Amino acid sequence: MTGDSRAVRGDFGRSALGLCDVTEPCHSTRSRTVKFSREFIALTLDFACHVERIKVVPLEQALLHFTPLYLSFGLPRDFDQLNPIWRAFLAGLARHQEPVDWAYRYYLQRQAHGREDLDLDPTFGCFYYAFVA
């Protein structure tokens, strides 16, 4: 899949509404559950394709370094490209004819496993972030 975004390139649906659902009020930064919509996953894949083209980086790198997908799967902030959960995502994305649907199902499956450190990450709306030294 490296360098070949044909599997995910396309119009993934750019709905500006319903990008994520926050199940608690936005003023709280603890115990927040964020659930991305299918449209947000589509937008994320589309964005990665643009990054691939503009920065001339493999799609795998664009997905890893320029999208929230790795963290959304409940993985640590090490951004390990060899992480088996990440590798399974990339392999599935490459083999499925409907990459957005598959990516969204994979995301929901990973959400079912929970994310232990979500309470440690500050949030702003449906975005979480960390300061890097």
Domain that holds residue 79: 20-128
Over its length of 133 residues, how does the chain's per-residue pLDDT go in tens digits?
Answer: 544 444 454 444 333 333 344 444 444 333 445 689 999 999 999 999 999 999 999 999 999 999 999 989 989 889 999 999 999 999 999 999 999 999 999 999 998 876 554 445 666 666 666 666 6
Residue at 2 is within a domain: no
pLDDT of residue 77: 86
DSSP secondary structure, 35-76, as one string: EE-HHHHHHHHHHHHHHHHHHT--HHHHHHHHSSHHHHTT--
* Spatial contact of 119 and 30, defined as CB atoms under 8 Å apart: yes
Residue type at 36 in one-letter notation: F
Q: Nearest-CA neighbor of 71 among 5, 124, 121, 15?
A: 121
Residue at 69 is within a domain: yes
Q: What's the total number of domains in the chain? A: 1
Residue at 27 is within a domain: yes
Residue at 5 is within a domain: no
Residue at 105 is within a domain: yes
Residue at 107 is within a domain: yes
Residue at 15 is within a domain: no
Residue at 61 is within a domain: yes
Indicate the SS3 state at residue 105. helix
